[in-house]
Amino acid sequence: MPVQVFKNEFDALPAATMAAWANIPPAIAGDCMNRQNVMAGRISPVAAGTHFVGQARTIASVAGDNAAMHTIINMLRPGEVLVIDAENFDNRAVWGGILNSRAMLQKINGVVVDGAVRDIAELRNMPLPVFASATSPAGPHKGWGGSIDDVISCGGVSVTPGDIILADDDGVTVVPLARAESVLAEAQKKVQFEADVLAKLARGEDTSNLFPLPDIEYMD
């Protein structure tokens, strides 16, 4: 069965824009999108202290198969993030040390897998960060097709090639490319707002008026 490659081309955002996105935590970006577009909690970093940002390249694979992952490696461009829908299958790893080493040569910024990975100790010591939903020592099979650069679902969130992927210890957020400019502006304001709140708290100021509270009804 062949691997299908879709023509979902996108414009790479300027370096200055991506540098601005690098200062936006996934949690803040999610807040600015009505607390949506945030991947499920099962998608977590292999190594603590990990964070990255980049535009998405996508794969959808049959459970336990990584043929499409080997196919896409030489198509990846520096600064991109590889996002993989591996069907949240946790009994067979589709990504490991060899694929991560190959991806490092392409100078991408990160890998997100809704499925299992292996060679965890090795991955933790690599400069290319990996997020995944599971680990398994069982190796993959190949030859069941899959797709590259199609619209996928990863961690319960739709991902289109070119979307902005933000990842840190909290998890992963997806910012649709069409909304990138407006979400970035709002996120920058929220980052500054939270910094101001923390500064006021550090000075011992009362900040309760900054956060709306529900009405209280006292009961007997």
- The model's pTM is 0.94
CATH architecture of 4-199: 3-Layer(bba) Sandwich (3.50)
Three-state SS letters, the chain: CCCEECCCCCCCCCHHHHHHHCCCCHHHHHHCCCCCCECCCCCEECCCCCCEEEEEEEEECCCCECHHHHHHHHHCCCCCEEEEECCCCCCCEEECHHHHHHHHHCCCCEEEEEEEECCHHHHHCCCCCEEEEEECCCCCECCCCCEECCCEEECCEEECCCCEEEEECCEEEEECHHHHHHHHHHHHHHHHHHHHHHHHHHCCCCCHHHCCCCCCCCCC
Q: What is the pLDDT along the chain (220 residues), one digit of tens a residue?
A: 789 999 999 999 999 999 999 999 999 999 999 999 999 999 999 999 999 999 999 999 999 999 999 999 999 999 999 999 999 999 999 999 999 999 999 999 999 999 999 999 999 999 999 999 999 999 999 888 899 999 999 999 999 999 999 999 999 999 999 999 999 999 999 999 999 999 999 999 988 888 888 889 999 8
Question: What are the domain boundaries of the chain?
Answer: 4-199
